[in-house]
Amino acid sequence: MVDKKTLVDLYTRTLKVRLFESKVWDIFGQNLIPGTLHLYLGQEAVAAGVTAALKKTDWIQSTHRGHGHVVAKGADMKRAMAELLGKSTGSCKGKGGSMHITQFDVGVLGATGVVASGLPIAVGAALSCKMRGTKDVVACFFGDGASNNGTFGESLNMSSIWKLPVIWVVENNFYAMGTPIKWTCPSESIAQRAEGYCIPSKVVDGNNALEVYEAIVEAVERARKGDGPSLVECRTYRMKGHSRFDPAKYRPKEETEYWLSRDPVEIIKKIAIEQGALTEKEAEKIEKKLQKEVDAAAEFAIKSEYPKPEEALEDVFAEEAA
């Protein structure tokens, strides 16, 4: 049984990501965000459940769909939002944008535009935790689509032979752009593949933050004890298209309706209330507070300056010691 504080934490993280992403969706509609976006709407419970099970010094490795990961891990929302708008106050000074949204100081190794490229980096970070004896762990997010890339096999294998403190978090939203996972994966689950690498795995409801959390807690424990990696497949669904302009017409209506009826925010709220951790009133209070923070973040981002053009030349190399 998880305690009440944790339930409130799960609700808060899930909602925070929801409100952040809803705001992002809004201001994208006002043409304030250059380029494209991969929204995290619908998958909030995964980021919430995973990050609630981690310490601040633990690491996460993010993906192209990374806003939710970073915000749930505790990123400064002002700097995150400003980054999406390409402002100099952004966490990456406007050099990364949506696909590289990162805040290293809260334990985000990076967000990457190359699908499945985060897995090797997570291996190295986990190796580093182990060799430096920190007891920190690494949670590596990736999609169902990413699990078909070669790094999946390489990295799961390496993490297993070296018993690394890493948790492989598959966000199975059933599609890689327009390609359904059933076209590209012959097995019932992606989790099954872990068996070949002797990695314990589990399939959980990725729209239920509590279920995600409980599976990750178990995996984190294993990792911290030095017993090696685990894989948790979180089944979830995008509320929107793959990227901003994708209407996602390729998804059957009944399927979409089913998943949209299972709102991650509502699910964790209901659990928290049923278990006496939260009242409607308290939930509302939390929401109001978060909404204020998100609004302030958006205002900060919109008001911030763009970088000076010549700043494009900075940050290629780190300064060498004299």
Partner 1 sequence: MTEMTYREALKQGLREEMQRDERVFIMGEDVGKNWGGAFKVTKGLAEEFGDERVRDTPISENTIAGAAVGAAITGLRPVAEIMFGDLITLAMDQVCNQAAKMRYMFGGQTSVPLVLRTVFGGGKNIASHHSQSLEAWFMHTPGLKIALPAFASDVKGLIKTAIRNPNPVLFFEHKLVYDKKEEVPDEEYLIPFGEAKVRREGADVTIWGTMFMLHKALDAAEELAKEGISVEVIDPRTLVPLDKKTLLDSVKKTGRLVVVTEETKTGATTAEIAAMVQEEAFDWLDAPIIRVNAPDTPVPFSPPLEQFFIPDKKRIMDAVRSIV
The β-bridge relationship of strands 108-110 and 59-61 is parallel
For residue 119, state whether it binds partner 1 (rule: CB under 8 A): yes
**Of 157 and 275, which has the nearer Cβ to partner 1?**
157
Q: Residue 175: which H helix or E strand, with range?
A: strand 175-176
For residue 144, state whether it binds Mg ion (rule: CB under 5 A): yes
Stretch that binds partner 1, among 99-107, 211-219, 242-250, 285-293 (CB under 8 A): 99-107
Residue 191 touches which of partner 1, Mg ion, ligand TPP, none (CB < 5 to 8 A by kind)? none
Residue window 175-194: x/- pattern of binding to Mg ion, with contact defined by CB under 5 A: -x------------------
Which residue type is seen at 303? K
Q: List the one residue out of 40, 15, 69, 19 whose CA is nearest residue 239.
A: 40
Q: What's the min distance (Å) between Cβ of 179 and Mg ion?
A: 9
Residue 103 touches which of ligand TPP, partner 1, Mg ion, none (CB < 5 to 8 A by kind)? partner 1
Return the structure tokens found at 21. 């992403």
**Of 103 and 148, which has the nearer Cβ to ligand TPP?**
148
Residue 148 touches which of ligand TPP, partner 1, Mg ion, none (CB < 5 to 8 A by kind)? none
For residue 127, state whether it binds partner 1 (rule: CB under 8 A): yes
**Of 67 and 242, which has the nearer Cβ to ligand TPP?**
242
Widest CA span in the chain: 64
Q: What's the min distance (Å) between Cβ of 175 and Mg ion?
A: 5
In sequence order, what DSSP letters do the residues of 61-111 get, joined into one string?
E--SS-HHHHHHTT--HHHHHHHHTT-TTSTTTTSS-GGG---GGGTEEE-
Q: Which residue is nearest to ligand TPP (CB)?
A: 143
For residue 143, state whether it binds Mg ion (rule: CB under 5 A): yes
Among the residues of the chain, which ranges form H helices? 4-29, 44-52, 67-72, 77-84, 118-132, 150-161, 181-184, 192-195, 209-225, 253-260, 264-274, 280-303
- Residue ranges in contact with ligand TPP by CB under 6 A: 38, 64-65, 113-115, 143-146, 173, 175-177, 242
Left (φ > 0), alpha (ψ -120 to 50) or beta: where does 63 sit? beta
For residue 293, state whether it binds partner 1 (rule: CB under 8 A): no
DSSP state of 137: -
- Residue from the set 45, 70, 109, 283 that interacts with partner 1 by CB under 8 A: 109
Q: Are 232 and 212 in contact (CB under 8 A)?
A: yes
For residue 95, state whether it binds partner 1 (rule: CB under 8 A): yes
Q: Which residue is nearest to Mg ion (CB)?
A: 143
Q: At which residue do the structure tokens 């204020």 appear?
A: 292
Which residue type is seen at 101? I
Stretch that binds partner 1, among 35-43, 46-54, 92-100, 292-300 (CB under 8 A): 92-100
For residue 12, state whether it binds partner 1 (rule: CB under 8 A): no
Stretch that binds partner 1, among 70-78, 147-155, 204-212, 258-266 (CB under 8 A): 147-155
Give how far the C-alpha of residue 287 lies from the chain's centroid of Cα atoms, to the nearest Å.
21
Radius of gyration of the CA atoms of the chain, in A: 19
